[in-house]
Amino acid sequence: MRIGLFGGTFDPPHQAHLAASVLAMKKLDLDRVWWLVTPGNPLKDTRGLAPLEERIAHARALARHPRIDVTGFEADLGVRYSYDTIRYLVTRCPGVRFVWIMGADNLRSFHRWQKWRGIAELVPIAVVDRLGPSLYSTAGVAGQALADARIPESAAVSLPDRRPPAWVFLHGLKSPLSSTALRAARVHKSAAERGETAPSQGDSPVPAGRADPAGNTPGVDSVNPSPIS
């Protein structure tokens, strides 16, 4: 089984999320893609973030694809960092070949992620083309540090079978859509309707993330999300 992991707040989910998933499925020959709807992003201001269940419902309504599953199991697992999620899945599902999927904008800031080098050592990574960030993402700290592990796009189908670190840059999607921008527009619109001034992202520090998983963790069956009908 070859499964792509696509994590994010999905607030709101949009067509670029769906297009990126379909692109990765096609070029990497993935059996499924799991959308991991996170409780929050430790690197972003989460004020105005819609409730998790609402984001999951919207994501499921958008991703009506027989091979895309939507789950919010990270909240049940008690984790906030992608490294902990990936480590849990790799440990509990040894027969599955996971691939982490992210946009080129995330590659640019990847070196700021908790244990980002550890993520690269756990699973292969597919970076999807984005309008704008693609021009300089590979020249960033993480792109340069992992340069030797990059494989040509012509060999993308072999990525799930490769031993990490290994990553590929997938071209063909240059959508300008951004959940951050759409969410900011929503916050400003809501504030305007109330006659208030919406806060800027620089008004407060980025919220700190939680530590490692707490409490009992669910079994493998609870990790595997239910297929979307």
State the CATH number of the domain containing residue 175: 3.40.50.620
pLDDT of residue 172: 85
Summarize pLDDT for 164-183 with one digit per residue, the tens. 999 999 998 765 555 455 44
Q: How confident is the model at residue 133 (pLDDT cuts 50, 70, 90)?
A: low
Residue 156 lies in a domain: yes
User: What range defines the domain where residue 155 resides?
Assistant: 2-223
Summarize pLDDT for 14-52 with one digit per residue, the tens. 999 999 999 999 999 999 999 999 988 776 666 779 999
Residue 108 lies in a domain: yes
From residue 61, give the alpha-carbon distance in Å to each of 3, 6, 69, 149, 177. 21, 17, 11, 36, 18
Residue 12 lies in a domain: yes
Residue 229 lies in a domain: no
Whole-structure pTM value: 0.77
Residue 57 lies in a domain: yes
The total of other beta-carbon atoms located within 10 Å of residue 196's CB is 10
Q: How confident is the model at residue 115 (pLDDT cuts 50, 70, 90)?
A: very high
Summarize pLDDT for 135-164 with one digit per residue, the tens. 688 999 999 999 999 999 999 999 999 999
CA distance 92 to 102: 22
Residue 107 lies in a domain: yes
Residue 228 lies in a domain: no
CA distance 41 to 79: 11
Hey, is 39 helix, strand or coil?
A: coil
Bridge partners (DSSP) listed for residue 69: 34
Residue 133 lies in a domain: yes
Quote the number of domains for the chain. Answer: 1
Instruction: Check residues 229 and 88 and name the one with the higher pLDDT.
Output: 88
Instruction: Check residues 214 and 12 and name the one with the higher pLDDT.
Output: 12
Instruction: Check residues 105 and 148 and name the one with the higher pLDDT.
Output: 148
From residue 172, give the alpha-carbon distance in Å to each of 80, 129, 156, 169, 212. 30, 7, 13, 10, 36
